[in-house]
Amino acid sequence: MAYPRPFREHMIKKIIDRLLGKPSAAPKATFGKRRVISEKEHRIDHELVDDRALNVVRTLQERGFEAYIVGGAVRDLLVGLKPKDFDVATNATPEEVKACFRRAFIIGRRFRIVHVVHGRGRDHEVIEVSTFRAYLDSQDAEQVSGNERTSKKALSNMTHAVDASGRVLRDNVWGPQDEDAARRDFTVNAMYYDPHTGDVIDYHHGFEDAQKRVIRMIGDPAARYREDPVRIIRAVRFSAKLNRLGFKLEPRTAKPLKAMLSLLADVPQSRLFDEMLKLVQTGHALASIQQLKVLGLAKGIYPLLDVMVERADTPFVSAAFQDTDRRVGEGKPVAPSFLLACVLWADVREGWHARTGQMPIYPALQEAIEDVFNARIGDVSGRGKLAGDMREIWTMQPRFDKRTGSGPFGLVDQARFRAGFDFLCLRAEVGEVDIELADWWEEFQHANDDARISLIQAVKPAPRAVRADGSEASRKRTRRRRKPAGGAADGNQPA
């Protein structure tokens, strides 16, 4: 197959460098030695391999391209885990991949890949197909003086570019498989599995490392963190995810982590935010928090993550993490808005608490929420839906106390009712509200209309208004208080 232009240019530059006697930036040894591990040796369980990934590999191979399952999926298969997603690597360019499938989309700028989409709606599945990347040393790459934002124009025509610190801003030069392997992060993430021959291809002793339970960075760890500081967070993620199987970060890989932390300051916030969510929403939130502490990274990756670590041992946040891990383990969906609402609930409650007695319940809650968003605006700005969902979860809480009239009927019909209710259950779990209240809503939401009416009738009248400090409000004051919007009964309080 003819290699595309960027790769040809890269090869020509290499040849000229060689003619000029310039030492090659990347000696061939960097690329490791190809080793083929047969099915008899690796014993991957075929049942764990996704049919859609198989289909993508087969389609590409039938069109004459090389194609493999790659990366984390191979790592997981080798240790008997069911991969949560499947990535495919090929020597076809993104355009060629796109032409092979009916629903395929080229995405990304820094790193162009193709999303091959199967199915629709909630059940849709995306297989990420990436073209083998050429290994390029920072010295070979074009350098821009600014960052992703300030150098947008200059970057638009570049296929491989780094900033002054060596951080990779564009990584779109195609190359052979051994070079592709060398630019992956950890040895256990750099293997290729051909499901049709059954062979696993390994250049960096990833197979041995998987057996020895070692997470080892390919090449010089410090240089690799500098190229892409997000690898710092990935190191934490994999050591958390694989911890229960006995995996440990190789000391050389772990050593520079803390010192490199400041490099994360230049990474776009949205990428950090996504990586943070992967730490806490992929089924090993508690393990991730523990690893962050063990590795000395409890502070400094991302402001919201700092808050998570600080609060991880409080009953409410700890219950939220446990709940999230359990849900992911059971294959249930988890929403970032829910976990973030849990993490920031202490702030909302505090602000709400401080205002009760001075103003009606709803405006007090709204103001408290506003304060929390203002204080954290940088963290969730530009994420309208996420913030909207968090707001809804919080503002629903006092409405759970109102179990009279048509209120409960309206509440269960709300689109975000389930999230609000799950939040209420967590509050009940830690003793913030009566468990009876959560049980009542559990029954109510599943009951038919007649049973719902009986449930409402059976509710004892709400106690008289109670202030934040626990004392009963005087009748006079209760009468004078405006009826809060949404109709929450007096007597509710931020528990």
Catalytic positions are: 85, 87, 185
- The reply to whether 205 sits near ligand ATP by the rule CB under 6 A is no
The mark string for 223-242 relative to Mg ion (x by CB under 5 A, - otherwise) is --------------------
Binding segment (CB under 5 A) for Mg ion, from list 71-79, 133-141, 386-394, 485-493 = 71-79
Minimum distance of ligand ATP from residue 85's CB (angstroms):
5
**Using the rule CB under 6 A, is 190 a contact of ligand ATP?**
yes
**Tokens standing for residue 272:** 């950090």
Picked from Mg ion, ligand ATP, none, the partner binding residue 228 (CB below 5 to 8 A depending on kind) is ligand ATP
CB of 141 to ligand ATP, least distance (A): 15
Evaluate whether 418 touches 403 at the Cβ level (below 8 Å): no
Q: Which two tokens stand for residue 262?
A: 């400041």
CB 349 to ligand ATP: min, Å: 33
Measured from the CB atom, the residue of 112 and 349 that comes closer to Mg ion is 112
Q: How far is the CB of 223 from ligand ATP (least distance, A)?
A: 12
Q: What six digits make up the tokens of 420? A: 């609000």
State how far the Cα of 454 lies from the Cα of 447, in Å rounded to an integer.
Answer: 10
Task: Judge contact between 297 and 261, C-beta under 8 A.
Answer: yes
Q: Within 65-84, which residues bind ligand ATP (CB under 6 A)?
A: 71-72, 84
160 binds, among Mg ion, ligand ATP, none (CB under 5 to 8 A by kind): none
Comparing CB distances to ligand ATP, the nearer of 175 and 407 is 175
Please select the residue that binds Mg ion; options are 17, 39, 85, 367, rule is CB under 5 A: 85
Q: Does residue 401 touch ligand ATP according to CB under 6 A? A: no
Least distance in angstroms from the C-beta of 310 to ligand ATP: 25
Shortest spacing between CB 97 and ligand ATP, in angstroms: 16
C-alpha to C-alpha distance for 217 and 249, rounded to whole angstroms: 9
The interface with ligand ATP within residues 21-60 (CB under 6 A) comprises none
Of residues 4 and 108, the one with the C-beta less far from Mg ion: 108
Exactly one of 178, 179, 185, 401 binds ligand ATP (CB under 6 A); that residue is 185
Contact between 142 and Mg ion by CB under 5 A: the answer reads no
In the complex, least distance from residue 230 CB atom to ligand ATP, rounded to whole angstroms? 5
- Residues in contact with ligand ATP, total (CB under 6 A)? 12
Choosing from 148, 179, 202, 228, the residue that interacts with ligand ATP (CB under 6 A) is 228
From Mg ion, ligand ATP, none, interface partner of 190 (C-beta below 5 to 8 A by class): ligand ATP
Q: How far is the CB of 220 from ligand ATP (least distance, A)?
A: 14
Task: Compute the least distance from the CB of residue 72 to ligand ATP, in Å.
Answer: 2
- Site stretch for ligand ATP (CB under 6 A), options 134-142, 184-192, 441-449, 472-480: 184-192
Distance CA 50, CA 52 (A): 6
Cβ distance 260 to 226 under 8 Å?
yes
Label each residue of the chain as H, E or C.
CCCCHHHHHHHHHHHHHHHCCCCCCCCHHHHCCCEEECHHHHCCCHHHCCHHHHHHHHHHHHCCCCEEEECHHHHHHHCCCCCCCCEEEECCCHHHHHHHCCCEEEECCCCCEEEEEECCHHHCEEEEEEECECCCCCCCCEECCCCCCCCHHHHCCCCEEECCCCCEEEECCECCHHHHHHCCCEHHHCCEECCCCCCEEECCCHHHHHHHCEECECCCHHHHHHHCCHHHHHHHHHHHHCHHHCCEECHHHHCCHHHHHHHHHHCCHHHHHHHHHHHHCCCCHHHHHHHHHHCCCCCCCCHHHHHHHHHCCCHHHHHHHHHHHHHHHCCCCCCHHHHHHHHCHHHHHHHHHHHECCECHHHHHHHHHHHHHHHCHHHHCCCHHHHHHHHHHHHHHHHHHCCCCCHHHHHHCCCCHHHHHHHHHHHHHCCCCCHHHHHHHHHHHHCCHHHHHHHHHHCCCCCCCECCCCCECCHHHHHHCCCCCCCCCECECCC
Instruction: Establish if 180 lies at the interface with ligand ATP (CB under 6 A).
Output: no
Region near Mg ion per CB under 5 A, out of 50-58, 69-77, 141-149, 363-371: 69-77
125 is a site residue for ligand ATP (CB under 6 A): no
List 133, 160, 231, 399, residue binding ligand ATP (CB under 6 A): 231
Residue with smaller CB distance to ligand ATP, 108 or 357: 108
Residue 137 as a binder of ligand ATP (CB under 6 A): the answer is no
Q: Are 162 and 143 in contact (CB under 8 A)?
A: yes
For residue 125, state whether it binds Mg ion (rule: CB under 5 A): no
Is residue 283 a contact residue for ligand ATP (CB under 6 A)? no
- The residues binding Mg ion (CB under 5 A) are 72, 85
**Residues in the site for ligand ATP, rule: CB under 6 A?**
71-72, 84-85, 87, 184-185, 189-190, 228, 230-231
